[in-house]
Amino acid sequence: MPDPPGKKPAGAQLSRLDRYKRDKVQPDMPPIDGGEYLINYFWEVGPVMAGMDGPVVISQAEIRAWQENAGIDLQPWQAGLLRRLSQDYLAQSHAAKDSACKPPYGELYRSPNLSKLIDAALD
Question: Domain residues of the chain, as ranges?
Answer: 35-101
Looking at the predicted structure, is the pLDDT value of residue 22 above 50?
yes
Q: Which comes out higher in pLDDT, residue 58 or 9?
A: 58
Residue 3 reports pLDDT greater than 90: no
Query: Of the candidates 19, 21, 11, 14, which has an alpha carbon nearest to the alpha carbon of residue 110?
Result: 19
77 pLDDT above the threshold of 90:
yes
End-to-end CA distance of the chain: 45
- The answer to whether the beta carbons of residues 89 and 46 sit under 8 Å apart is yes
Instruction: Indicate if the pLDDT at residue 112 is higher than 80.
Output: no
Statement: residue 8 has pLDDT above 60? no
What pTM value is reported for the model? 0.68
- Inform me whether the pLDDT recorded for 15 exceeds 60: yes
Query: Chain centroid to CA 109: how far?
Result: 15
Residue 42 has pLDDT above 80, yes or no: yes
Q: Is the dihedral of CA 85, 99, 27, 108 positive or negative?
A: negative
